[in-house]
Structure 1
Amino acid sequence: MTGEVDMSTADALFRAATPDGVHCATLDLSAVTFFDSAAIHAVIRLADRYPGALEVRPSPQVLRVLEISGLAGQPWLKPPS
């Protein structure tokens, strides 16, 4: 994903990450510049769908939103090194 993930694009993100027959997902959000509560909800839904099999690679902006939301310690979050 690139640009903004918000209430108008969060469902598209979820659908793109959940095609039939898929049992894991990696979300490359390293080029995302805006991330709102709808986007957070989509990621949480994906974590529920792929327990132990989701990896999220955030941009600094996404990481900050997840930190503020209390989600920085989630095992699916792979902060930039």
Structure 2
Amino acid sequence: MFVDHEGADPNFSATAAVAGDRAVVTVTGEVDMSTADAMFRAATKDDAAYATLDLREVTFFDSAAIHALLQLADLYGERLRVLPSSQVHRVLEISGLSAQPWLVSD
């Protein structure tokens, strides 16, 4: 398990757990320019073939977070699944990214 609390938001965390060949990364709090890299590192640390990024507890998602997410999408391709919070889904919708195949809608 990998936990990163480097960000300025004390409520931010990015925790990765690997099950088989899938990394499941649970992210909480604000993902911004001070924490987006920690989210990316948590999702790539274990060299898993597949990744699920659980963003259901994310309260803020800015352009740096979008950039990190797009880097993960480039890295994993169709092997990435993203579970967004309503805030993340809204940001991705505004950004024109809500129809991406990696975005899992309820």
TM-score range relative to shorter protein = over 0.9
**Who is 2:67 aligned against?**
41
Higher strand share: 2
TM-superposed CA distance for 1:20, in Å, is 4.0
TM-superposed CA distance for 1:48, in Å, is 0.4
Is the aligned partner of 1:60 residue 2:86? yes
TM-superposed CA distance for 1:51, in Å, is 1.1
Instruction: Count residues with an aligned counterpart.
Output: 80
Q: Distance in 1 between matches of 2:75 and 2:104?
A: 18
Larger radius of gyration: 2
Is the aligned partner of 1:16 residue 2:42? yes
User: Per chain length, whose mean CA-contact separation is higher, i.e. which structure has more relative contact order (CA < 8 Å, sep 6+)?
Assistant: 1
TM-superposed CA distance for 1:21, in Å, is 2.8
Is the aligned partner of 1:28 residue 2:54? yes
Q: Distance in 1 between matches of 2:99 and 2:74?
A: 16
Structure 1 residue runs without a partner (length 5+) = none
Q: Which moved more, 1:69-78 or 1:16-25?
A: 16-25
Instruction: Output one character per residue of 1:8-45: Cα deviation in whole Å (capped at 9) or x when no partner.
Output: 00000000000243111100000000000000000000
**Who is 1:3 aligned against?**
29
Structure 2 residue runs without a partner (length 5+) = 1-26
- Between the aligned residues of both structures, percent identity stands at 69
